[in-house]
Amino acid sequence: MTADMWVFENAARQEGFSTIAGIDEAGLGPLADPVVSAAVILPAALQIAGVDDSKRLTPKKRAALFGEIYRRAISVGVGVVGPGRIDEINILQASLKSMAMAVACLNPRPDCLLIDGIFKIESDISQTPIPKGDARSVSIAAASIIAKVTRDNMMVQYHRQYPQYGFAQHKGYPTKAHKIAIREHGCTPIHRRSFKGVREYV
């Protein structure tokens, strides 16, 4: 992590905001189970070595940072929207809803949101979407780690319930092994039935 990762947080403070939350999601692309978002408020200028876009980190490093972020953050919120709701409202709307849920869990309430991506969420809090924000903002990067590890842990639990699908390995993403399992065994209650690769086997 470099000082540049604080550029958006520092700019927000210069504008008069004091409680800044970063928000990110995990699980836009999988064929199964929820989209998970996290919102994280970090103390100003906190240094946690290694915080970065979760996709750039090893599972071991993500797991270590997950615990450290929870210990040192001012507040962490998590929002989860399941596959049934994803099928009803589409994955984009479900991801934005999960982000709003994560923000609603924060205490204290933030006065500024930095959101990974290009879309705003339903909230009266001042917010700034930041494309590729998980690699540019420390708060969003921290949120990406919380969201990713939370969702991965959920998929490991589902693997115990549905071991023939290999959820612990691919976490629900459309790998060759996952597609073969769907063809052979059909879809489970946690599959996203509106997604190509699943709806053909409902």
Q: Are 190 and 158 in contact (CB under 8 A)?
A: yes
Q: Model pTM?
A: 0.96
SS3 186: coil
Take residue 34 and report the two structure tokens written for it: 């929820």
For 39-90, write each residue's pLDDT tens digit.
999 999 898 988 887 888 999 999 999 999 999 999 999 999 999 999 999 9
Q: What amino acid occupies position 174?
A: P
Domains of the chain: 3-150 (3.30.420.10)
Judge residue 67's burial from the number of C-beta atoms within 10 Å of its C-beta, 0-12 exposed, 13-18 middle, 19 or more buried.
exposed
Q: Are 32 and 172 in contact (CB under 8 A)?
A: yes
Question: What DSSP character marks residue 142?
Answer: H
For 150-197, write each residue's pLDDT tens digit.
999 999 999 999 999 999 999 999 999 999 999 999 999 999 999 999
